[in-house]
Structure 1
């Protein structure tokens, strides 16, 4: 292995030696503890330490790193206290996730590290978001994110690189090419020869380094970072290396030819660098032994503290509360009484504009939302007022844009991501349910992101532009869901959603955009999230609904002159207003739950179960539901009308009234 020290001093070389030696010694100790059953799982980075350490040491301490399983050297280079690191591995309270997650599935803003999730690829876009925040704040900073060669097969890899290239984001994509994705060799993962071949296709500079040569990694990353800070742009660095142990210890290495181990053992990054420093007289035997003793003592001290720490005590209230960042909403009333008649779509636009004025850190992202104003023209004129840096057209990369929202949250910024149609959110599903929703619970990082979801059928738009998919997210702790049915609620709930530091899914029915109007306050105001609204008072039957269902229920109320219908608009679906539901049940004793979503697995089933469990003594009839057919949304208008529940609503209400 050829080392070129360039103009690096002896002290710098010794510092790199200490930095690469520490993770190796920790790993060797962890493998013993694993055999003793004192840690439950271990992903070994032995043989790949030069990449982690070289990258981390090359960046400034306040620049973010986003590591993977085998990047222990990132954490040790950033001086993460070993007792806390070991406590994390053991699921102890003093770890970074309070025992809620394992290994390197955590972040720490104190050390400017954002850890991975098991899905691998989504963290690449989070790095884009951190870099975008730096770019918007005109900070000369670099973000470095790791990917393995296996994880780079995911669509998230493409999306993150594509957006970074289009937006000129200061990100280094460090690809650790060790030849295997778990047991699958590279020739079964991809057909290209090297990852640097991908760079030109994205318009990204690409470099290749010997991933076992710490000096080469360190110098390459350092020079790249210096260049990117002055001229912001993404860069891809491919580090050629080899994993000397299994994907994780339980998987073994039988699938790897023995000759590869023999070849790469000669390129051991720690042993070779140590020998080089001894040969160069930078390191003496005595100094080396002293350094190893110091690291060993630090490891044992950290382990003892971690072992002495008890396992977490169960606290149900804390577990539930920590799904969300604490936030006590104070409802804001309009400053003046002036009102203007506005359509539903105008109310959304009004709220979004006033939130942009109120929060200078708020950035809007979505397909065609800039000059074009979005397909529904919600953001028309916004570029002229707020500029393209805050109103950003995005490539068709839903997953990346949602991940960018989380990355911006890491840097204290707010974001709104518009799905062109709610149906398209499926392309970014993992970012929402695994990253945005779980981040605060796992390591205390909130996701200050609102996802706007133009939803619903009725326009003969077919199966891919008409779905009601709120139930997909209703099942996911950590998210909030709002679904307004009036212009007043549309503006107030959108403002509230943007104000809330937690991830909020904001559903807006497309058929309401230009079909209803209402006088609403001109000033900024908010509505309490989690609070239902009584639309109509009644004594015979309660209809619990939301969105378009409110208007179907109101129309039926006008048609049934002899019936007294109570209509409760949930407005918020997660959390939903149990007190209001109970009061509405108590008032009439008969309950029908109406929603546009399909019947099976819909939100109505959960509410019906809750009523049966908690309000049984108040009921005079079984709880009933009316929903769309359990089919995809059909295209032809007659089929679509049969699919929707509106025609079946009257029949069900009359049946309930005669019960």
Structure 2
């Protein structure tokens, strides 16, 4: 099939396009040989699809972000990414972009404005929204181009990303590489619409369906889409192409009818471009042979060097230190001469306000947070003071806004995401635990993201608005999990979370919002996260707790004080990272420990504390470590049922049992 372009191109331009297509193809063909020689662990071939990645990249501007997928080697080569570290990355070598911590194209390079993928399909599309929003807020003429396959268009992140882009009028272009199969599942079993690009209509976006093997059509469409996106009109492009190899080499192609290979072989993007150049008198067969030889020589030395490069060497401290950013926050220094009596909810509001006044890079996103002020009214008045660019209502999405927060953070913003209720955080679980949490360890710069989550029971809100889900995140390296139990900590730990260069989950207890108050300084103060605090000294036993448990512990300790029993209360304050030293110290001091938590008993957050004490403090114990937690059932709505469910129903008995041991 012949290809033509609507505009004049010079011989030099044509040769540049051809060399970029051919470089992609020749590197791939070499990688397939190395795979058979067991010198590379896995390969997702883009042979036959080169025109899409190369065409998009050549049409994009240097400031534009590109978020590629497995088959987009041409994005990296056309952006002139140095080949030696690129090959090291593909071989899993120490000098690769992830240092062997991740494989293939699971990486990005900020200096080339490339943000790499993760294995979870469509997960990077909301990130593209965040990058596009960042460019829009900065007033830069830049667009985010985000790739996905046909299979990913069934994922929730695909739809959340498109909807958010359209609602916010973002400069973003989504490209679907429709190669006919999601692994082995043909498109006929994936969607019922005629074209995937038709889905754009439902979101109020422009949609284009193009021949993805015609690089001229790709480039001309991308140029048109870029202009629309910069005008606040996001675009969805479906590029029809074909995968000439398996999903990855091990899967083979036995499930694909032979006739499809025959038909698509005639549409090979490089063959069609060669025919174009011959027809236009730009180059002939001898020229193609010469160029192929030059291309092969251009990467041979880097490839051989990378094959023989050093493998990563495991060092435990190096790996652990890579999980969190060690960048030092620099919040403003101020004096605290005035104190006020404030409620828990008041200090959350005033602390956010303080940070937003200090630093224009803070913005907050969430459902009903703008004009309405949030369901708990914490952002009431923020819209008028800070404007709609920084106080942003979102559609009813969780995953999409969390992904957007990652994109914003990559561009240097400090996004705050409000989950309307902590229970709904499950809808964004993948973005938190697989994307945001792991990214810095893999390759990204610091991700300053604060996720606020109202949690906890005691207010009769039932099974879907009362859960304490903080324990879900304790085993996810890269996150910080903060749960204040006092007004002072709500103020200072939120401030610290906002400035921490790592992603922080900040859990706020709903029952404490308006029931707890005390006198605190007018300004919040920064402190490094991860330090526990003794709230009450004691000698007979220790209650280790956090969050609402702090108030329960202080109340019960006062009751036992009247009986002549001295209970120590250790407030963990952060569940990740844990302050083991403070745990060790209080166990050594009292010899008896009760672990008090609001979540259910089984696999609750303090089960980990029990294991730590058993393994590391056994010789100091005078009694078994005991736990007091809520019932292993969903949290009920009725007041009487909820009271029976709560850990407080058995707290006095558990302390008495511990003291008598």
Q: Which TM-score band (shorter chain)?
A: over 0.9
Report if aligned partners of 1:329, 1:528 keep a CA contact under 8 Å in 2.
Answer: no
Residue equivalent to 1:585: 587
Residue equivalent to 1:275: 275
Q: Which moved more, 1:516-525 or 1:69-78?
A: 516-525
State the SS of the aligned residue for 1:520: strand
The structural deviation recorded for 1:381 is 0.2
Residue equivalent to 1:510: 510
The structural deviation recorded for 1:208 is 1.4
The structural deviation recorded for 1:333 is 6.9
The structural deviation recorded for 1:465 is 0.4
Residue equivalent to 2:10: 9
Report if aligned partners of 1:45, 1:70 keep a CA contact under 8 Å in 2.
Answer: yes
Aligned residue runs from structure 1 range 115-154, under 5 A: 115-154=116-155
- Are 2:438 and 1:452 aligned? no
Residue equivalent to 1:291: 291
The structural deviation recorded for 1:578 is 1.0
State the SS of the aligned residue for 1:593: strand
Residue equivalent to 1:93: 94
Residue equivalent to 2:359: 359
Q: Deviations over 1:47-86 (max 9, x none)?
A: 1100000001000122110011111110111111121111
The structural deviation recorded for 1:330 is 7.4
With over 3 angstroms needed to count, the CA separation of the structure-2 counterparts of 1:178 and 1:504, relative to structure 1, is same
Residue equivalent to 2:109: 108
With over 3 angstroms needed to count, the CA separation of the structure-2 counterparts of 1:131 and 1:331, relative to structure 1, is closer
Report if aligned partners of 2:351, 2:523 keep a CA contact under 8 Å in 1.
Answer: no
State the SS of the aligned residue for 2:409: helix
State the SS of the aligned residue for 1:518: strand
Aligned residue runs from structure 1 range 461-480, under 5 A: 461-480=461-480
The structural deviation recorded for 1:447 is 2.0
State the SS of the aligned residue for 1:429: helix
Q: Which moved more, 1:190-199 or 1:125-134?
A: 190-199
Distance in structure 2 (CA, Å) of the matches to 1:491 and 1:56: 46
The structural deviation recorded for 1:92 is 0.2
Residue equivalent to 1:240: 240
Distance in structure 2 (CA, Å) of the matches to 1:164 and 1:608: 46
- Are 2:652 and 1:650 aligned? yes
Aligned residue runs from structure 1 range 41-80, under 5 A: 41-80=42-81
The structural deviation recorded for 1:281 is 1.2
The structural deviation recorded for 1:5 is 4.9
TM-score scaled to structure 1, two decimals?
A: 0.98
Distance in structure 2 (CA, Å) of the matches to 1:95 and 1:330: 31
Distance in structure 1 (CA, Å) of the matches to 2:216 and 2:638: 65
The structural deviation recorded for 1:200 is 1.3
Residue equivalent to 1:226: 227
Q: Which moved more, 1:250-259 or 1:521-530?
A: 521-530
Report if aligned partners of 2:548, 2:598 keep a CA contact under 8 Å in 1.
Answer: yes
Q: Deviations over 1:405-426 (max 9, x none)?
A: 1101111111000000000000
The structural deviation recorded for 1:494 is 0.7
State the SS of the aligned residue for 2:104: coil
Aligned residue runs from structure 1 range 523-562, under 5 A: 523-560=523-560, 561=562, 562=564
State the SS of the aligned residue for 2:543: strand
Report if aligned partners of 1:489, 1:527 keep a CA contact under 8 Å in 2.
Answer: no
TM-score scaled to structure 2, two decimals?
A: 0.98
The structural deviation recorded for 1:286 is 4.2
State the SS of the aligned residue for 1:653: helix
Residue equivalent to 1:610: 612
- Are 2:21 and 1:30 aligned? no
With over 3 angstroms needed to count, the CA separation of the structure-2 counterparts of 1:330 and 1:395, relative to structure 1, is closer
The two structures, once aligned, show a CA RMSD in angstroms of 1.2
Residue equivalent to 1:627: 629
Aligned residue runs from structure 1 range 341-490, under 5 A: 341-490=341-490
Distance in structure 1 (CA, Å) of the matches to 2:461 and 2:42: 49
In structure 2, stretches of 5+ residues that fail to align are none
State the SS of the aligned residue for 1:437: helix
Q: Deviations over 1:200-245 (max 9, x none)?
A: 110001111100001110111012213332x122101110111111
Q: Which moved more, 1:8-17 or 1:498-507?
A: 8-17
Distance in structure 2 (CA, Å) of the matches to 1:657 and 1:638: 29
The structural deviation recorded for 1:2 is 2.7
Report if aligned partners of 1:448, 1:503 keep a CA contact under 8 Å in 2.
Answer: yes
Distance in structure 1 (CA, Å) of the matches to 2:328 and 2:625: 33
The structural deviation recorded for 1:291 is 2.1
Report if aligned partners of 2:415, 2:448 keep a CA contact under 8 Å in 1.
Answer: yes
Aligned residue runs from structure 1 range 204-215, under 5 A: 204-215=205-216
State the SS of the aligned residue for 1:140: coil
State the SS of the aligned residue for 1:122: coil
Distance in structure 2 (CA, Å) of the matches to 1:291 and 1:298: 10
The structural deviation recorded for 1:140 is 1.3
Report if aligned partners of 1:65, 1:145 keep a CA contact under 8 Å in 2.
Answer: yes
Report if aligned partners of 1:331, 1:528 keep a CA contact under 8 Å in 2.
Answer: no
The structural deviation recorded for 1:616 is 1.1
- Are 2:492 and 1:492 aligned? yes
Distance in structure 2 (CA, Å) of the matches to 1:2 and 1:304: 36
Distance in structure 2 (CA, Å) of the matches to 1:615 and 1:336: 40
The structural deviation recorded for 1:392 is 0.3
Distance in structure 2 (CA, Å) of the matches to 1:362 and 1:529: 19
State the SS of the aligned residue for 2:127: helix
Distance in structure 2 (CA, Å) of the matches to 1:331 and 1:42: 45
Q: Which moved more, 1:390-399 or 1:219-228?
A: 219-228
With over 3 angstroms needed to count, the CA separation of the structure-2 counterparts of 1:575 and 1:341, relative to structure 1, is same
The structural deviation recorded for 1:530 is 0.6
Q: Which moved more, 1:123-132 or 1:486-495?
A: 486-495
With over 3 angstroms needed to count, the CA separation of the structure-2 counterparts of 1:542 and 1:510, relative to structure 1, is same
In structure 1, stretches of 5+ residues that fail to align are none
Match for residue 598 of structure 2 among 596, 599, 604: 596
- Are 2:346 and 1:323 aligned? no
